[in-house]
């Protein structure tokens, strides 16, 4: 997935530096920790969030050291939440590769996540060229943790509303996209209005991204997504397509939803029911609404080459089939 930023060498180069910076930061006596972090960095993630931080930084006075540090913080925070999510989900695979907890055990995974959190804050604390205080960043971080907890709490609940779902993914996913862009903008000296616009863009991109992710969990090719089809269902996480289908035809699901292991056939049956009851179609519509808002927001940014890149990248990532 290195190719994701390859068409934009100016950003891609910085993204590679961010990867190297995270690896440098991870150096420590404990080789399992160090190697796990290297593996995470090199596991082929798109590096969307740090790429966005670099992009937004280009709208102000770009300073490489600062952009690299901020991009690293955003990605390390993301990695920490992924590692802990895998612990909670008991996940075997992530991006088609074995998870840290399946390789080194849950205990290690808990500490590796903690260590990554600490590295984030260490990097934030030691980046001398930061202009603003880190108050806003650290507040967002608590909200992201709360989003994860909300997801945990709403498992197997058929009565959560679409509003609840949107609020949950806003905390769990969209806030970090917002932060990635906002922090790049505000720290490179963009004015408040532009920075807030970046926040908004991140929100809309993040919402669309997560809804599409939740759709692909049901309809995607597991070879491409690297996850089993219906993984969320298996975990009791009821996402937008199911919630919409449930709202349209609750009775249809009465017999099929349960709080135990599903067979592959049962999963496919539920997915068919979701499709029949408009869950996928309507979810795509909602995702498109967020995408369109993001595109509109992007066009309100100052016109420059980075705006064009942001537009293309956003279109690219929101049309993904994996």
Tokens coding 305: 């080459």
Residue closer to a copy of itself by CB (options 80, 286) is: 80
The crossing angle, in degrees rounded to 10, of helices 48-57 and 305-318 is 160
Smallest distance, a copy of itself to C-beta of residue 92, A: 17
Smallest distance, a copy of itself to C-beta of residue 141, A: 4
Smallest distance, a copy of itself to C-beta of residue 85, A: 9
Smallest distance, a copy of itself to C-beta of residue 121, A: 4
The partner residues of 97 in beta bridges, in order of sequence, read 94
What's CA 129's distance to the chain center, in Å?
Answer: 27
Smallest distance, a copy of itself to C-beta of residue 32, A: 8
Q: How many CB atoms lie within 10 A of CB 256?
A: 13
Residue closer to a copy of itself by CB (options 36, 188) is: 36
What's CA 260's distance to the chain center, in Å?
Answer: 27
Q: Which residues bind a copy of itself (CB under 8 A)?
A: 28-30, 32-33, 80-81, 84, 87-88, 107-108, 110-111, 113-115, 117-119, 121-122, 124-126, 128, 133-135, 137-139, 141-142, 144-146, 148-150, 152-153
Residue closer to a copy of itself by CB (options 135, 319) is: 135
Q: For 157, phi and psi rounded to 5 degrees?
A: -95, 120
Residue closer to a copy of itself by CB (options 40, 317) is: 40
What's CA 263's distance to the chain center, in Å?
Answer: 28
Residue closer to a copy of itself by CB (options 97, 143) is: 143
Residue closer to a copy of itself by CB (options 128, 263) is: 128
Smallest distance, a copy of itself to C-beta of residue 15, A: 24
Smallest distance, a copy of itself to C-beta of residue 42, A: 21
Residue closer to a copy of itself by CB (options 116, 257) is: 116
Smallest distance, a copy of itself to C-beta of residue 91, A: 13
Smallest distance, a copy of itself to C-beta of residue 154, A: 11
SS3 at position 88: helix
SS3 at position 93: strand
DSSP string, 266-313: HHHHHHHHHHHTTHHHHHHHHHHHHHHHHHHHHHTSPPSHHHHHHHHH
Q: Is the dihedral of CA 60, 65, 70, 76 positive or negative?
A: positive
Instruction: Quickly list H helices, the chain.
Output: 9-26, 31-41, 48-57, 64-89, 100-104, 106-126, 135-153, 162-169, 175-187, 192-219, 222-225, 231-234, 240-248, 250-254, 264-276, 279-299, 305-318
Residue closer to a copy of itself by CB (options 114, 221) is: 114
Q: For 23, phi and psi rounded to 5 degrees?
A: -65, -40
Tokens coding 219: 């309809």
Residue closer to a copy of itself by CB (options 137, 214) is: 137
């Amino acid at each position: 997935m290195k190719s994701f930023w390859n068409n934009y060498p100016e950003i891609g180069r910085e993204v590679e530096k961010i990867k190297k910076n995270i690896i440098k930061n991870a150096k420590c006596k404990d080789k399992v920790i160090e190697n796990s972090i290297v593996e995470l960095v090199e596991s082929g993630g798109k590096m969307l969030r740090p790429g966005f931080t670099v992009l937004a930084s280009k709208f102000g006075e770009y300073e490489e050291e600062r952009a690299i540090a901020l991009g690293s913080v955003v990605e390390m925070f993301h990695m920490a939440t992924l590692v802990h999510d895998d612990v909670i989900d008991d996940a075997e695979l992530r991006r088609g590769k074995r998870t840290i907890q399946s390789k080194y055990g849950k205990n290690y995974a808990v500490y590796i996540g903690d260590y990554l959190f600490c590295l984030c804050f260490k990097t934030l604390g030691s980046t001398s060229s930061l202009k603003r205080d880190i108050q806003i960043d650290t507040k967002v971080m608590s909200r992201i943790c709360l989003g994860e907890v909300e997801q945990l709490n709403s498992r197997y609940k058929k009565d959560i509303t679409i509003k609840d779902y949107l609020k949950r993914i806003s905390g769990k996913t969209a806030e970090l996209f917002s932060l990635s862009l906002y922090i790049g903008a505000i720290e490179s000296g963009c004015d408040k209005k532009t920075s807030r616009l970046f926040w908004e863009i991140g929100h809309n991109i993040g919402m669309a991204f997560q809804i599409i992710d939740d759709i692909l969990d049901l309809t995607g090719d597991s070879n491409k997504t690297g996850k089993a089809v219906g993984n969320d269902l298996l975990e009791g996480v009821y996402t937008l397509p199911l919630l919409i289908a449930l709202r349209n035809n609750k009775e249809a699901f009465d017999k099929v939803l349960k709080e135990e292991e599903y067979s592959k056939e049962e999963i496919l049956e539920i997915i068919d029911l979701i499709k029949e009851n408009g869950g996928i179609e309507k979810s795509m519509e909602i995702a498109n609404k967020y995408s369109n808002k993001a595109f509109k927001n992007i066009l309100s940014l100052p016109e420059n080459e980075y705006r064009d890149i942001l537009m293309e990248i956003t279109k690219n990532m929101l049309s993904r089939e994996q």
